[in-house]
Amino acid sequence: MPGLNRVQIIGRLGKDPLEKTTRKGTKFTVFTVAVDRQWKGKDGVVHKEADWFNVEVWGRLGEICFEYLIKGRLVFLEGRLRTDRYEKDGEVKYFTKVIARQMQMLDYQSKDDKEPANIELEEKNIEEE
């Protein structure tokens, strides 16, 4: 049976993106995105929470994210989930992140900005472990 691993989120960057480099010299970009949600409880009080997602972007799209995204920017991301496993102090820990393959900036773009309005690049298996 075929499988499907796809995630789409719209949210705001929690911090400016960081550019990282693997041991082999491949660059990639990481950042966090907060997705707000709100609901009204039975008592009529409006509750607000944010779900935080760790995002990793490779290749040219990663370079574009590093260059144009800043804290607070509203973005649409599409990609897949990946869970890494590591051991710390003898305890196994899991870390789930979004490997983005498409990004679109959603907030207002001024006339002076020379940034791409919609970026869609396919991930080409360049991520390293």
Domain ranges of the chain: 7-37+46-107
Query: Which CATH fold topology does 7-37+46-107 show?
Result: OB fold (Dihydrolipoamide Acetyltransferase, E2P) (2.40.50)
pTM: 0.79
pLDDT digits (tens, 9 = 90+) for 18-38: 999 999 999 999 999 999 999
Q: Give yes or no for residue 11 having a pLDDT over 90.
A: yes
CB neighbourhood size of 20 (10 A): 13
pLDDT digits (tens, 9 = 90+) for 62-101: 999 999 999 999 999 999 999 999 999 999 999 999 999 9
DSSP result, 2-40: -----EEEEEEESS--EEEE-TTS-EEEEEEEEEEEEEE
The helix/strand/coil state of 45 is coil
Residue-level pLDDT at 119: 52
Q: Tokens in use for 85? A: 């496993």
